Structure 1
Amino acid sequence: MNKLLQIHPNDNCLVALTDLQPGKYAYGEGLDLEVKETIPAKHRIALTDLPKGTILTHYGVSVGRTMSDVPSGTRLTTENLKHVADPSEIRQIDYQWQQPKVTPFRDRTFMGYHRADGKVGTANYWLFVPLVFCENRNLRVIEETLNTTLGYKKENDYIRFAKELLGEAQEENRTTSSRVFENIDGIRFLYHDGGCGGTRQDSETLLRLLAGYVHHPNVAGATVLSLGCQHAQIDWFKQVQKELYPNSEKPVIYLEQQQVKSEEQLIKKAISSTLEQLKEANKVSRKPAPLSKLVVGLECGGSDGFSGISANPAVGHASDMITTLGGSTILSEFPELNGVEQNLIDRCVDLKVAEKFVALQNAYANRAVAAGSGFDMNPSPGNIKDGLITDAIKSAGAAKKGGYAPVADVLDYTEPVTRAGLNLLCTPGNDVESTTGMAGSGANIMLFTTGLGTPTGNPVTPVIKIATNTKLAESMPDIIDVNAGGVISGEKTIEQLGEEILEEVIQVACGKQTKAMQLDQNDFILWKRGVSL
């Protein structure tokens, strides 16, 4: 295999696929470059002499401007390169694309939970929802009680380890290994710090997000706890649900603490009424569903210099196959679309969709600038250390998760997916804020690529973790589900890996547990619509 890669024929930089020492290396048939210094794997190298002020092109788009002369064969760094993004405009749309071959998957199904509104869940959870942070303590008591009683909680390895250190005899795990309710995958609790004390907009955003979780296809029903005096009132929550999900028929239990004589009575009532509903929810079992019922979120976090070369393009191919099969996918993280807006605008199905994308992206970018920040500040120290030295480089690779399908719809934060095809969802680049938002918009599976390793999961949506490189997959096997390193080594093509990812999606949709699920990694963070990159 070549040790250097030119991603696009117009690029004036290359990517080191392995650690390089000074010497001559091939990057294509009959093409080579004299590397003049030690270059770490994943980093970008000047293909030609780049005088100060030269625009660096990568993935075929502008990603930076040199701040000093950069000789060919030397590394591009934060010291000699600054972020630049191509401007974008709305223009006549006439997008054509070549759909991938999906014959092997055309008649495939997954075993899911069918809901009355026509959606299909890949899991079946009961949800506890606090309308205000004051109820978090009560949730913790209920969580301990129900998870232990119903067989969802087992003595973990760390408890056994601590007992051994204390010299205690090994005991059998007293929690039953079998669930009381066979068709209920778990009880989930959405802890948060909102509902009161902030702005009315904060409370409305929270209620819209919580509505998305209550009416999520992976949720059988919910128990809602309210204190009674907070901004986020029960009546307001009911109005939001009716507005966003008018066809949903989920059973929802509402309890208000200030209308009950004691905290003990509230907790007992929550437990008893929930158990009654669980008996009904347990009657629903998995049944075959077409792949068109998949709604797959596309996320990257802890990205590295290989993200846009291996895992993200493979996820993009899987996304294209899912949309070709009639399913929906969600590409979020608007700060990580900076610099590739024109490509996405040109792929929108009509001008109305394009205009909404531009309006949301510009408003978000302007808020960041007004706060003294900007999308160019998005890359984290870990991103930079592993080769993503400008936001445009990071964005050009991150957008690969969206494949080549037309953009069917653009959604603001908390808006539900209603159209098949590729959807753009306005969220921050922050991993958990983004995944929380995608689940709230209806993603019943999520694909999460990572080059550095991140344990992110979600309370109701299975998250499949895909390593961009083999070193990560081997060093963190407890959090990685799929290894994309074969693309870097030349053992697999993007298309082959994309098909493997879709196969994994089907298995998880049928009930296979992801590593994040095994670790009970149930991350939930509300985006309050402030500047979060």
Structure 2
Amino acid sequence: MKRVLQIHPRDNVRVALADLRAGTEFALDGQSVRLAADIPQKHKFTVRALAPGEDVYMYGVLVGKTVEAISAGGLLTVHNVQHAAQHYGRRTKTYHWQPPDISRWKDRTFMGYHRSDGQVGTQNYWLVIPLVFCENRNIQIIRDAFLKELGYAQPDIYRMQVREMAAAWQDAHDPEAIRKMTFADNRASYGRNRLFPGVDGIKFLVHEGGCGGTREDANNLCGLLAGYSVHPNVAGITVLSLGCQHAQFDILKAQIAKRSPHFDKPLLFFEQQAWGSEFAMISEAIRQTFLGLAVINEQQRKPAPLSKLTVGVKCGGSDGFSGISANPAVGHCADLLVALGARVVMAEFPELCGVEQELIDRCVNDDIAARFSRLMTAYAHRAEAVGSGFDKNPSPGNIRDGLITDAIKSAGAARKGGTSPVTDVLDYPEYAVRPGLNLLCTPGNDVEATTGMGGAGCTLQLFTTGLGTPTGNPVSPMVKIATNHALARRMPDIIDIDTGGIISGEQTVEEAGIAILEYLIGVAGGEHITRAMALGQDDFIPWKRGVSL
């Protein structure tokens, strides 16, 4: 196994693939370099001595600037390096892309749900949504009733654990007996004995918006909910409204029509202030939703080309290996999907800081390039206005594992978008319609970003993590990909795919990307479910367009 990696020929630092001891010598760039300090795995060290104010390069781009002298073989830290990034502007060249060989997948299909607007879903869900937070309680009441009685509820393993402990305590009042108890994880039974086997799930969204904020917040919320309504994984929708809030049903319908002019899915609407009796409204909502479930239960999966997939790519809980293993592997998968005619959506604009010019130059025309530049600039200015620029993005976990500047984090994060041309740039909460690589303006925040990609129509999502992130999406199945073997072994109940073989030399980036694509096709066709789906991780947080990194 290699112990040191140079990612790009221009880089003047190296990545430690294993823990390295001070005094160890390496032959680098034609010279002998002795490590001046212990270098923890995933962290970076200098190849030559750097004076204060010198540029630091990784992935071939500017990622930082030294604030004090660093000797040759010295460890990069938050104390001796600060964030710095390349300036960006207009498109400077025409981008030429060589697509990967897709001959083995050219005629492949997945078994999906064909919708009347031409989209194809990977799941068949019924969606229940509130237009305002006042309806969250009613949503939860309906959720408990449907999931428990129709066979969709997660096994209540933790309640059973408390029940067993309570019984043991009543018998003996013995703390030691409680400490010695063992419990079984029987969540594998999820999804059995459903009344409607053709319905993959009933999904319930709750949020804190719809009123009390700005009209822009309400319009954006309705746009996001419209994206979930026209989503090909959704076959029918139940909407609950209070009646007096900013987010009105007419706004939702207008946003739906904007995304799908000939929308024809069942759309059930219940306004509490018009009904008067809460009991009467909820009872009728349950009745009509039940009958709707019976109808969509008859829908069948049919073959569809891979070009019908829309795949979101995201990283969270990132580590120093994210940009070396999982992200480039997802990037290769993304390139294969784009070459096959599918859509790929890459979000989290704060984590594209430092690679803006590269992405601008990959845009297919000047208008798309200008829109990306405009959205990035506006986002950065909003953050700076409240004293929280992109340089504040790396979390304590990121820094601890070697991502000490936002540009280092971003340069690695951008690799999950592959190398294909940028065919469209979307503002939040717009819907993806163009094949190819789409850039979607969202925060880096895991759930705000994945929520946005669900609203953009992603029928699947690929989520890479180096530290472990237990998240999922209500309508867009999420595949969790580990950057390293240790994480995959430590948290097996949230990880679907392990790309740690790239670090150990057991696997190439291309081989890992192909493995991800094959797994993705299986999930798309309903052959298996992801760990996040099995755990019922249906996280949903709308972005209010404030400063969120």
Task: Please give the TM-score of this superposition, normalised by the length of structure 1.
Answer: 0.97
Following superposition, the deviation at residue 248 of structure 1 comes to 2.5
2:204 corresponds to 1:189: yes
1:470 — aligned with what? 485
Following superposition, the deviation at residue 485 of structure 1 comes to 0.4
Following superposition, the deviation at residue 29 of structure 1 comes to 9.3
Distance 1:521 1:249 in 2: 29
Residues 28, 54 of structure 1: CA spacing in aligned structure 2 closer, same or farther, 3 A cutoff?
Answer: closer
Contact persistence 2:190–2:534 (CA under 8 A):
no
2:159 — aligned with what? 159
Residues 287, 265 of structure 1: CA spacing in aligned structure 2 closer, same or farther, 3 A cutoff?
Answer: same
Q: 2:538 aligns with which of 488, 501, 522?
A: 522
1:82 — aligned with what? 82
Following superposition, the deviation at residue 166 of structure 1 comes to 2.4
Q: 1:381 aligns with which of 390, 396, 412?
A: 396
Q: Secondary structure of 2:14's partner? A: strand
1:487 — aligned with what? 502
The answer to which of 225-234 and 78-87 deviates more is 225-234
2:529 — aligned with what? 513
Distance 1:450 1:84 in 2: 24
Superposed, 1:199-278 pairs within 5 Å as 199-278=214-293
Residues 32, 523 of structure 1: CA spacing in aligned structure 2 closer, same or farther, 3 A cutoff?
Answer: farther
1:309 — aligned with what? 324
1:372 — aligned with what? 387
The answer to which of 155-164 and 174-183 deviates more is 174-183
Superposed, 1:11-410 pairs within 5 Å as 11-26=11-26, 33-167=33-167, 177-410=192-425
Distance 1:357 1:175 in 2: 42
2:456 — aligned with what? 441
Q: Secondary structure of 1:409's partner? A: strand
Following superposition, the deviation at residue 25 of structure 1 comes to 4.7
Deviations 1:269-297 (A, max 9, x none): 00000111111111111111110011000
Following superposition, the deviation at residue 329 of structure 1 comes to 0.2
Following superposition, the deviation at residue 160 of structure 1 comes to 2.4
1:290 aligned partner, one-letter code: P
Contact persistence 2:230–2:259 (CA under 8 A):
no
Contact persistence 1:154–1:177 (CA under 8 A):
no
Following superposition, the deviation at residue 31 of structure 1 comes to 6.5
Q: Secondary structure of 1:23's partner? A: coil
2:443 corresponds to 1:419: no
Residues 314, 272 of structure 1: CA spacing in aligned structure 2 closer, same or farther, 3 A cutoff?
Answer: same
Distance 2:191 2:257 in 1: 39
Identity, % of aligned positions? 56
1:499 — aligned with what? 514
Contact persistence 1:148–1:175 (CA under 8 A):
no
Q: Secondary structure of 1:449's partner? A: strand
Following superposition, the deviation at residue 34 of structure 1 comes to 1.6
Q: Secondary structure of 2:87's partner? A: coil
Distance 1:225 1:515 in 2: 30
Distance 1:151 1:232 in 2: 32
Following superposition, the deviation at residue 163 of structure 1 comes to 2.3
Q: Secondary structure of 2:11's partner? A: coil
Distance 1:227 1:140 in 2: 15
Distance 2:346 2:496 in 1: 20
Distance 2:474 2:485 in 1: 28
Q: Secondary structure of 1:96's partner? A: coil
Distance 2:164 2:34 in 1: 58
Deviations 1:2-57 (A, max 9, x none): 20101011110000001111233547797753212111100010111011111001
Contact persistence 1:353–1:409 (CA under 8 A):
yes
Residues 418, 175 of structure 1: CA spacing in aligned structure 2 closer, same or farther, 3 A cutoff?
Answer: closer
Deviations 1:494-525 (A, max 9, x none): 00000000011101111211111111111000
Distance 1:309 1:175 in 2: 35
Distance 1:117 1:377 in 2: 42
2:180 — aligned with what? none
Q: 1:432 aligns with which of 427, 434, 447?
A: 447
Contact persistence 1:3–1:27 (CA under 8 A):
no
Contact persistence 2:91–2:369 (CA under 8 A):
no
Following superposition, the deviation at residue 176 of structure 1 comes to 8.8
2:84 aligned partner, one-letter code: V
Contact persistence 1:93–1:348 (CA under 8 A):
no
Residues 23, 184 of structure 1: CA spacing in aligned structure 2 closer, same or farther, 3 A cutoff?
Answer: same
Q: Secondary structure of 2:469's partner? A: coil
CA RMSD of aligned residues (A): 1.8
Q: Secondary structure of 2:68's partner? A: coil
Following superposition, the deviation at residue 92 of structure 1 comes to 4.1
Distance 2:471 2:330 in 1: 17
The answer to which of 172-181 and 253-262 deviates more is 172-181
2:118 aligned partner, one-letter code: G
Distance 2:456 2:241 in 1: 23
Distance 1:345 1:484 in 2: 29
The answer to which of 192-201 and 240-249 deviates more is 240-249
Q: Secondary structure of 2:473's partner? A: coil
Contact persistence 1:2–1:26 (CA under 8 A):
no
2:466 corresponds to 1:451: yes
Distance 2:31 2:474 in 1: 50
